[in-house]
Amino acid sequence: MRIAIAAASLLLASSLPALGQQTYGPRLEGFAYPYDVKTFKLTSQRQDLEMAYMDIPAAGTANGRTVVLMHGKNFCGATWEGTIGALAQAGYRVVVPDQVGFCKSSKPEGYQFSLHQLSANTHALLESLKVEKPVVMGHSMGGMLAMRYALTYPADLSGLVLVNPIGLED
């Protein structure tokens, strides 16, 4: 009886991919984001990279302001879905990058993932989108990144929001 149960379990487990179980690639291919994902090409640390991001226009009457949402270490830009919708409904343009090394962005080998570097990458993205003086909001490690962005580019933002940030030091 045990052999029959074990054989049936193995047969069932081997058929799971055939039953439509989703598999994802290194850039989360096949994982649907709540809004269109675009890519920003950049060169960083002598490597050609791509930074995935969502750029959501204001819904209804735009207030002329932009909010940039920075995800934490165990999250992706897509985890901000509810916040994106609320901010867009309130008239904000919302820019949500996946940091290099995370989710739909490039995963370079031999890369220095410092908060300073991720901040510089985000600044380059925002410059390419002609975003001026956004409100920067970060969650968890994204809070540390948002703080580093504020310290590095204080003249280039209009506000800072930290949501359950972890340790505010490198």
pLDDT in tens, 34-72: 899 999 999 989 989 999 999 999 998 999 999 999 998
| E strands in 7-121 | 38-44, 47-56, 66-70, 93-97
In the chain, where are the structural domains located?
24-163
> Model-level pTM?
0.82
Band (pLDDT 50/70/90 cuts) for residue 2 is: low
Contact call for residues 95 and 67 (beta carbons, < 8 A): yes
Measured between alpha carbons, how far is residue 34 from residues 24, 78, 81, 157 in Å? Answer: 17, 6, 6, 26
Cα–Cα distance for residue pair 76/97, rounded to 1 Å: 8
Cα–Cα distance for residue pair 58/28, rounded to 1 Å: 26
CATH 3.40.1780.10 fits 24-163, yes or no: no
